[in-house]
Amino acid sequence: MNYFKQIDLKIKDLDVSRLRDDRQQYGFKEDFRAWYIRDMDYLKEKTRHIHFTIPPNSVGFLEVGPVGAHSDPWPATVSLNFYIQGGNRTTYFYEPKDPNNYLELPDTQGGVYTEMSAAKVYNDRDNLIVVDQFTAADETAYFLNVSKIHDVSKDNLTQPRLAIRWLWYELAFEEIVNSVKILD
């Protein structure tokens, strides 16, 4: 089972003030917020060496705090996260002992409506088995299978993770990983 894959992606000299817009796409309180990109032309220029043979459904700027175990709302299946600030925090992936032991949390908790379905939140840690993990350093990039249960460690909480996220809907993890090319 593929939960994540690190890739060699460099995006040099990013100006975060040109990325994070004032308009929020969606989110849960302060734990997870997705913002629109303020200057899409700037982002396209900085990432012109990334070739998407299957275009992402959305692109956003993320601020991630101590997010509990969850799977992303359907139809999101795969994301590519470039961690501007990874904080050396660990993302864990899980398999549930009982797949029906979760809560559905509508994506309106942060006051922002989304057309995506409810996120599945897994509060019972005794029901989860860690199956994989990675620790994100600053300026690293990972594909994530966001349809799988995952969370972000609560250590190193002095700053949230900051990332650019490309998101695909209803597509297989390997299909997206194999479709993205980093050009020289």
Q: What domains does the chain contain, in order, with CATH numbers?
A: 4-182 (2.60.120.10)
- pLDDT, position 109: 42
pLDDT reported for residue 123: 84
Tokens 């994070």, located at residue: 20
Give which of 65, 74, 78, 68 is closest to 33, Cα–Cα: 65
User: Over the Cα atoms of the chain, what is R_g?
Assistant: 16
Structure tokens given for 22: 């004032």
DSSP H or E segment with residue 6 = strand 4-7
How confident is the model at residue 115, as a pLDDT?
A: 46
C-alpha pair distances (Å), 133 with each of 56, 151, 153, 160:
24, 10, 10, 18
* Cβ 150 vs Cβ 71: under 8 Å: yes
Q: How far apart are CA 30 and CA 83, in angstroms?
A: 18
State the average pLDDT for the chain. Answer: 86
| Statement: residue 158 has pLDDT above 50 | yes
Distance in angstroms (rounded) separating the CA atoms of residues 21 and 77? 24
Q: What is the pTM of this model?
A: 0.88
Q: Average pLDDT for residues 40-62, to the nearest whole number?
A: 95
And the tokens for 92?
């864990």
